[in-house]
Structure formats: C-alpha cells, structure tokens
A = this chain, B = another copy of it.
Amino acid sequence: MESRCENCIVRQFNSLRAMSKEELKRVSDSKTTKTIKKGESIFREGEKLDGVFCVRDGISKLSKLSANGKDQIVKLASKGEVIGQRSVVAEESVNLSAVAVSDMEVCFIPKDGIVSTLHTNPNFTLEVLRHMAHDLKEADDVIVNMSQKNVKQRIAEAFIYLKTNFGEDEEGYLKLVLSREDISNVVGTAIESCIRIISEFKKKGYLKTSGKRIGIIDEKALNNLVEGF
C-alpha cells in the first residue's frame, strides 16, 4: 500500500471526506489501486459491482448502448469523482459502461466499507446524497439540452464544457482529446454531422484543429450560438 486515503487530496472532492478517521482507515486498508490505459474499460453496463472506483487521475466516459447500436456518453468523470456509486447504493447492476478516455489511475474500494458506513454515519450518507442530488440536476439539464438544442448548439456547448472542465494546453488546444466519434456520442449525433460542424466552426474561425486535437479560438461566438443568437 504505497498511499493512504487519509493523505489523498482527491478525497477532498468527494463524499469520502465525510467519513470518520476509523471508517476511512478501514476503506484505505481494503482499497486497491489500478492503472487503466486509455481505451480500456473499468466496467460494463449490466455488470454487478462489488465496489466503487475513486478516480485519482485521468478521465472516464460513462456511456450507455442504445438500441441503434450507438453509445451515448452521459457523463465524463475525472479526478475526485466516485464512479459506480449509484449502482452500489441502489443495489442494482450498473446501467452505464465506464471506459477510460485517457490513461487513468483509480482506486477500487470494496463495497462493504461503503455500505456499512452508509448505514451508520448520516454525515457520510448525506454527503453522498448531496453529490447524487448534484448529478441529478446535471442530468436534468442534459435532458433539456438534448431535446431543445440543435446539433450545432450542442457541439458548441460541448467544447465550452471541455474547456472549462478539463482546460487547455500551452498551445491553446483542449487538454482532453476526444475522438470525433466520442464527441458525436456526447452530443448524440452522427459522426459525419459532427465533423462537418467542426469544419464549419473552423472556417468561421471559432476553432482550430491539429490532428485530432481541437482548440477554441472564439469562445464568445460559441457561447452566442448556444444562447441562440
């Protein structure tokens, strides 16, 4: 055990911070750290999880396969987020697949420590509840965006989201590099439509690209698009 949860910065961002010293010690003793390469999966839709995954580094896409064979990406989880929590709380199989979109380091925490704390420490349970309440609000917002905004607006919004949440490198390209297919699966559109709109944004001077990297040049223009101007 090279590292302990007690000393982990990441914990400050998630519900583990509401655990008592003893509870956290127990979790730390039982956890295992895993390295996951870009493209590898953490779990698949339908599996039964016997624990949760705490993201220490890297980013995972959470997606669901739809009847037409396309994946819909519902959320991107990064440092500090706990994934698989919903499934453990509800005692159901997971309804989303988790696949790394960049190299990741995650801690697997067996559910025993989590579940027993949920039953005994209301501070922890309430903290988990607050995080889930936040996720639910975000999900509701996504529903509204998906149904009320057009593809161009959703793509513009996605790039702003990627910039504000994952940042950009020294050259001004988005740090999180997603394939065009992943972007399509975030905004729920055909790959070709997505590529076409990226080309259009490039022509208009909103974006720049270099290989699969994408950089935002005119964030204001993208924002105006999203707002419907």
Q: Which residues of A contact B (CB under 8 A)?
A: 64, 66-68, 70, 72, 74, 86, 89-90, 92, 95-96, 118-123, 125-126, 128-130, 132-137, 139-149, 187-189, 226-228
Contact = CB atoms under 8 A, between A and B. Distances in A.
Interface centre among A118, A128, A148, A188 (most CB of B within 10 A): A148
- Of all A-B residue pairs in the complex, the 8 with the closest CB atoms, nearest first, are A147-B188, A66-B148, A139-B139, A125-B125, A90-B133, A146-B146, A122-B122, A72-B144
A86 B132 CA distance: 9
B149 A66 contact: yes
A30 to B, nearest CB: 21
A119 B123 CA distance: 6
Given A86-B136, A122-B122, A146-B146, 20 more contacts: A67-B148, A67-B149, A72-B147, A74-B140, A86-B133, A86-B137, A90-B137, A119-B123, A119-B126, A122-B125, A129-B129, A135-B136, A136-B136, A142-B143, A143-B143, A143-B146, A146-B147, A146-B188, A147-B187, A148-B188
Nearest to A128: B129
Contact of A126 (B118, B137, B143, B148): B118
Contact of A140 (B64, B133, B134, B149): B64
A68 B148 CA distance: 7
A132 B138 CA distance: 13
A90 B145 CA distance: 22
A152 to B, nearest CB: 13
Nearest to A147: B188
22 contacts: A64-B140, A67-B226, A67-B228, A74-B140, A89-B129, A89-B133, A90-B133, A90-B134, A92-B137, A96-B140, A119-B126, A121-B122, A122-B122, A122-B125, A125-B125, A132-B132, A132-B136, A136-B139, A142-B143, A143-B146, A146-B146, A147-B187
